[in-house]
Structure formats: C-alpha cells, structure tokens
Amino acid sequence: MERQSTQVLGIDENGLGPRMGPLLVTGVLGICHPSLSEILTPAPAITTPLGDSKVLVSFRDSRLGETWARALLARNGAKPDCPHDALLALLLETPEELRAPCPPDHLDLCWATDNEAFEASDHQVDQAQRDLDGLAQSGLEIESAHAMMVCTSRLNTALTEGRSRLLEDLHAMERLIVDARTRCKQDLVATCGKVGGFDRYGPHFGPLGGHLRTAVEEGRALSRYRIAGIGEVSFVRNAEANHPLVALASLIGKWIRDFFMRRIIRYHRSVDRSLPMASGYQDPVTARFLSQSASSRLARGVPDRCVERRTARSCSR
C-alpha cells in the first residue's frame, strides 16, 4: 500500500519570560512526503543554520530569523520591500486587530517604521531558499509561516482576567493549529514546544477545547493527543533543538519579537538617548532601562500597561 504524504506543523514561542515586549508564537507548515522516514532530523545538505533561536541568534543580531522569514515569503511569491511588510505578511491577525489595545497617542510605541531596513543580505536569503529546495528534495516541503503576537498590554489584560502567560501561549498555539488545519484542508501532525510545566493540556485548552480528543501520552517529555477534525497534536520538550519546523518557527519568532522590541526601545530613546538598548528580558540592562525611563514615560503619558508586564504578585497588591 502506497504511503501518503503528511501535513506537518511546527510551533514554538519566543518571549514567554521577559519583563518587556511581546510574546510571539510562530507556526511553520509543511508537507512530509513518504521519502522522508524521520521528520525530526534536518536534511544533511542544509547550510543555513537551523536550531534553537536562543543558541543561534541574539537581540543585537537576529538576521538568521529574518533570512528564513524572507526565504519562506519568497517561496510563496511575496517579496516585501521592507521589514514592516514582511511582519504584516507573517502575523496572523490584521493590523487593526493588533493595534486595538494601543493608546491612540502612542501608536508609534510599536508601529513606527522610520529608518527600518532589512539586515540580511539577498545572498543569505537566496541560500536559505536553496536550503528549502534541498529539504523538499529530501521529502520535507516547507510551505509557509504565520505568527501570533500577544503584546504587553494584552498580556496584562489577560492576567487581570485570570489568564496567565502560559495560557496565552497555549491558546495562541491552538489558534495557529486551527488556522493551519483550515489552510491545508486535511488532518495534520502538529509538534509544539512544551508550554511551561504542563503535562496534561486538555483542561487548559481554549480554541481546541470544543473538539473531541484522546490523550495518547501525557508526561514531562511528551504530551500527545488525537483531536477530532484536527489530527495529532504533540507538546515536546526541547522540540526546537530537534524538529526542523519547530526550529524554523523559533528563529522566525525571535526575529519578529526582537524587531518589535527594538521599535519600543527606539520610541523611548527618541526623547532620551542615554537609555540603554534593552532586550526586554530579565537582565540588569532591562531593569536599568525601566528605572531610567520612568520619569520620561510619566511625562509623556505612556501607559504602564504597554511597557512592563505585570505579575500575579503585583496584581494582588
């Protein structure tokens, strides 16, 4: 009996733990052909690095994620002229939906596009496209990428409504799964990075909560489900280090998050050039940025909900 091709999806998050900036959840959709016996190993011919974004890129240089994003967009006939157009092509929600929580007087906090340009070279993008061709010849044809962005304001609102960052992360993953299932019009095999310390995901499902499901396995390393009308969904520990689609999602999501974070820093540095280039993560530079920018933020009327993520402890005070 001839083996059938499988629609596959890899999902990962970027920015779950920082003090500032958005949470990004990115999905990469592809087709695994019968010629590929093991989809958890990238083809040996690939030259553009794939792997965990935390290892391969940094806040000051995330060109690798940009390279893969542009290569995937070009594969679908899209050649954006600027980073902003590339971001809008990747983000699942419309600009109007994304800007809905934004204070009208401070739209530029996340949406100013002045002096933005691509950093990766056309040669790098061309090489990534050749690598995508190599993966396709090996049996893994990568089709598209989409991302969900949950801004600081939305994370803070969710927390006041009783939803943690972990739930926002999981529900964004679910939305990407549902969207991918709609796009490919057949059941799929989705592999997601583990969400926090969850072992049992069923009680926490949002968009997938109304689907009939069977828990195949639930544990620290792997939680796998068969979901009616969707296919198979797995949450895998360290998936970004082993699964090419999850690795791609991690790299592209890192680029998107860092790009928005640089916009945020640029907005504040427009009135105080002494502010440091903070990554938004839990580090001394970010702490100094928040402390040093407090007076200028107050003077400009920048809402705290758009700047720093609240914690469950701060909400209880």
- The series of mean pLDDT values per 10 residues for the chain, 317 residues long, is 79 96 97 63 48 50 87 92 96 96 95 94 92 88 96 97 96 98 93 92 96 96 97 94 90 96 96 96 97 96 96 58
Is residue 49 one of the residues assigned to a domain? Answer: yes
Dmax over CA atoms of the chain, in Å, equals: 71
Q: Strands, E, within the chain: which ranges?
A: 6-14, 23-32, 140-150, 188-193, 213-218, 222-227, 231-236
The token duo for 233 is 């969904």
Is residue 63 one of the residues assigned to a domain? Answer: yes
Determine the pLDDT at residue 43.
Answer: 39
Determine the pLDDT at residue 312.
Answer: 67
Is residue 224 one of the residues assigned to a domain? Answer: yes
Determine the pLDDT at residue 48.
Answer: 59
* Count of structural domains, the chain: 1
Determine the pLDDT at residue 35.
Answer: 57
b/e map 66-105, b = 16+ CB within 10 Å: bbbbbbbbbbeeeebeebbebbebbbbbeeeebeebbeee
Domain with 136 in it: what CATH number? Answer: 3.30.420
Is residue 317 one of the residues assigned to a domain? Answer: no
Please name the helix (run of DSSP H) or strand (run of DSSP E) that holds residue 132, with its range, or none. Answer: helix 122-138
The token duo for 217 is 């396995």
The token duo for 305 is 């909900």
CA atoms within 13 A on the CB side of 167: 17
Is residue 300 one of the residues assigned to a domain? Answer: no
Determine the pLDDT at residue 44.
Answer: 38
Determine the pLDDT at residue 34.
Answer: 74
Is residue 214 one of the residues assigned to a domain? Answer: yes
Determine the pLDDT at residue 197.
Answer: 79
SS3 content of the chain, % helix, strand, coil (to 5): 45, 20, 40
Determine the pLDDT at residue 60.
Answer: 55
CB 280 within 8 A of CB 288: no
CA atoms within 13 A on the CB side of 148: 22
Q: What pTM did the predictor assign? A: 0.91
Is residue 282 one of the residues assigned to a domain? Answer: no
Please give the residue range of the domain that contains residue 46. 6-262
Determine the pLDDT at residue 5.
Answer: 87
Is residue 307 one of the residues assigned to a domain? Answer: no
Determine the pLDDT at residue 139.
Answer: 87
Q: How far is the C-alpha of 185 from the C-alpha of 197, rounded, in Å?
A: 32
The token duo for 298 is 């107050």
